[in-house]
């Protein structure tokens, strides 16, 4: 077998449809777009929810409720902090290194789910629930929440 003998499998290569190449091609004149109308024009693209030019259903239906624009905290539970050594400094960078949060730049909130078995942690997060703060101080640790007034659960 030589390189010039190689051929693709039968039926695997199809020639593309060449439209608008004269009447004898079978796809001349309107090039397969039919006659007049919006779909026959160049540049037409039918987006999602398109209803032929009338107002979309999603626009006609009444709107209810609202979208809450608030701070989206990354949540860390007390039970997750047991991976740290005794007396360790816990901040977003160390939480990211341990795989407890995904983004260092986004705010972190500490919640009181689970038992804290490590003593003496020095924690610096953006917000902390009151029960979590009490559990950490009871275990001989300190908590520094940078968002003022964010103590409620």
With cut-offs at 50, 70 and 90, classify the pLDDT of residue 148. Answer: low
What does the pLDDT read at residue 153? 47
CA distances to 1, 51, 94, 122, 129 from 86, in Å: 71, 64, 14, 10, 22
What does the pLDDT read at residue 125? 95
**Average pLDDT of the residues in 138-144:** 93
- Render 102-140 in DSSP notation, one character per residue: S-SSS-EEEE--S-----S-EEEESEE-HHHHHHHHHTT
Q: pTM (2 decimals)?
A: 0.55
DSSP letter at 56 equals P
pLDDT at 136 over 50: yes
Token pair in block for residue 18 = 């060449």
pLDDT digits (tens, 9 = 90+) for 69-100: 888 999 999 999 999 999 999 999 999 999 99
Structural domains in the chain plus CATH codes: 74-145 (3.100.10.10)
């Amino acid at each position: 077998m030589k390189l010039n003998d190689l051929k693709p499998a039968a039926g695997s290569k199809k020639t593309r449809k060449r439209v608008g190449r004269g009447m004898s091609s079978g796809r001349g004149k309107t090039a397969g777009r039919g006659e007049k109308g919006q779909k026959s024009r160049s540049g037409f693209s039918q987006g999602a929810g398109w209803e032929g030019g009338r107002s979309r259903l999603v626009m006609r239906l009444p709107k209810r409720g609202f979208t809450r624009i608030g701070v989206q905290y990354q949540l860390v539970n007390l039970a997750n902090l047991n991976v740290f050594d005794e007396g360790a400094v816990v901040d977003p960078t160390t939480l990211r290194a341990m795989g407890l949060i995904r983004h260092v730049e986004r705010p972190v909130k500490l919640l009181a789910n689970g038992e804290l078995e490590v003593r003496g942690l020095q924690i610096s997060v953006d917000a902390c629930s009151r029960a979590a703060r009490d559990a950490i101080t009871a275990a001989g640790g300190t908590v520094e929440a940078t968002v003022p007034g964010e103590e409620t659960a």
